[in-house]
A = this chain, B = another copy of it.
């Protein structure tokens, strides 16, 4: 059975795996990124890693990268922020030259979405939307097993859906972006502000953070809400109401069969999922469209990206077989 090599290029490590057609990881390797040495050196190291993990039946390479590669040409349209020389770099051309294998590349967020839709929470679903709730809010859209790319692979910036046309100011220049309300960072900040208010009552959150307001984070909110703390429950409810507005707008726009919540805050799990589902069903999305769209929690964790990179490489190999 043929297989592919999947690469997850991160700021700290480069992870590689050989993956078969069923998504079984056959071999894994990991090296340090040494981002400061620049993109050419990083890609040479990736090529070495490919040679190490490839097998006799390897038919292609899929690379997930920070920044945004052009999905058609493999040129880096937006640089990987921490890797000098990555902007404009001919990622797939150079790696094809070094490995003699067909190489495809995409943004790491898109590939995490593809991985979850292939083998994770979105398995078997025709139209999958992912919201990743971490430091920021990211997203992805996968239709019939292929990533949606828009004009230049710059879309699915679901963190910059606005839920209030005169709302909180976002770094992107807009007002009301959901990233400013329902990212892990935003929920942590809302909690610290609430606890710092002059009229703030007692809250378990402060206790869980060892008495230090500065140590209260999104996870503190969800932990305390699970233990019945009233202020934490209000913050969790607010977070899910904000999120339901953005998710509901996307459901009405894209008629997905499921919406997957990923990223660090998805560790809150069922209490987050059920609150969000409830708000969607109560009216945030339109009747028959809401019925199609089940809210799920991501299940693949760190492997979503590498499995997505494998799926992309397999798609490319299958398309080229169909063409020949």
Contact = CB atoms under 8 A, between A and B. Distances in A.
Interface residues of A, number: 51
Interface in A261-298: 282-289, 292-293
A286 to B, nearest CB: 5
A249 B252 CA distance: 13
B282 A162 contact: no
Given A153-B255, A255-B154, A165 B165 contact: no
Number of copies: 2
Contacts of A78: 288
B255 A162 contact: no
A199 interface: no
Interface string A171-198: 0111110000000000000000000000
B292 A154 contact: yes
A34 interface: no
A70 interface: no
Contacts of A175: 245, 283
15 contacts: A150-B255, A154-B289, A155-B253, A156-B253, A156-B254, A160-B249, A160-B252, A160-B285, A162-B245, A172-B286, A173-B282, A173-B286, A174-B284, A174-B285, A175-B245
